[in-house]
């Protein structure tokens, strides 16, 4: 038997799945589709990303909602700890800013953010974040990469600006915070 060209394999696999599920019981096939849609919805909830194509792509790459939530929160934490310290007012302002950008205070993401604002995460977390972003960006188109960058860094900047406004600070972003945001942005340029 001749081998099928590699690019035909995914299409053949989809056709085989469809034929199998239709022949046996249509419910599992549709349940599988619903679970894929549910995965995209969980990614949207965890990240605030609204671009359905990007969400589908991330889900297709195996990115789980928990992973995306961490990807979204780590920049907030890094910017929050930019000056090396975190006082109670700054912590409260960052949490309020996070709420204003759509992070639900009852969500696991919010609870994780609170923990990371109490106790600064180990430096290797940021390195791992950068490595994950770099590897993920290798799988994305340039448009998808830029979309993800805008979402991740846009939320971090928005939370920072909101927190500084709540603290009564004039500059929307401090020098230290701008340096961290630039460092975060470099992860997308690999």
pLDDT on residue 26: 47
Q: How many CB atoms lie within 10 A of CB 52?
A: 11
Is the separation of the CB atoms in 175 and 78 below 8 Å?
no
Per-residue model confidence as pLDDT tens digits over 141-190: 999 999 999 988 988 888 888 888 888 888 888 899 999 999 999 999 86
pTM: 0.67
Alpha helical stretches, state H, the chain:
9-24, 26-47, 52-60, 65-80, 88-100, 108-118, 123-139, 142-166, 175-186
- Find, among 99, 106, 78, the residue nearest to 182 by Cα: 78
Q: Which segments in the chain show pLDDT lower than 70? A: 1-36, 101, 190
**Token output for 78:** 């890094």
């Amino acid at each position: 038997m001749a081998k099928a060209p590699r690019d035909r394999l995914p299409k053949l696999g989809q056709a085989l799945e469809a034929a199998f599920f239709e022949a046996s019981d249509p419910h599992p096939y549709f349940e599988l589709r619903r679970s894929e849609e549910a995965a995209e919805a969980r990614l949207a909830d965890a990240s605030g990303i609204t671009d359905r194509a990007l969400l589908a792509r991330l889900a297709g790459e195996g990115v789980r909602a928990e992973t995306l939530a961490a990807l979204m929160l780590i920049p907030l934490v890094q910017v929050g700890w930019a000056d090396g310290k975190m006082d109670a007012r700054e912590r409260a302002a960052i949490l309020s800013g996070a709420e204003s950008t759509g992070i639900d205070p009852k969500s696991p993401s919010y609870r994780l953010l609170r923990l990371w604002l109490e106790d600064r995460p180990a430096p290797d977390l940021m390195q791992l974040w950068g490595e994950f972003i770099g590897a993920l960006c290798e799988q994305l188109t340039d448009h998808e990469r830029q979309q993800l960058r805008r979402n991740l860094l846009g939320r971090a900047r928005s939370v920072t600006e909101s927190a500084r406004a709540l603290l009564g600070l004039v500059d929307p972003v401090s020098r230290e915070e701008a340096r961290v945001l630039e460092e975060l942005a470099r992860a997308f340029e690999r």
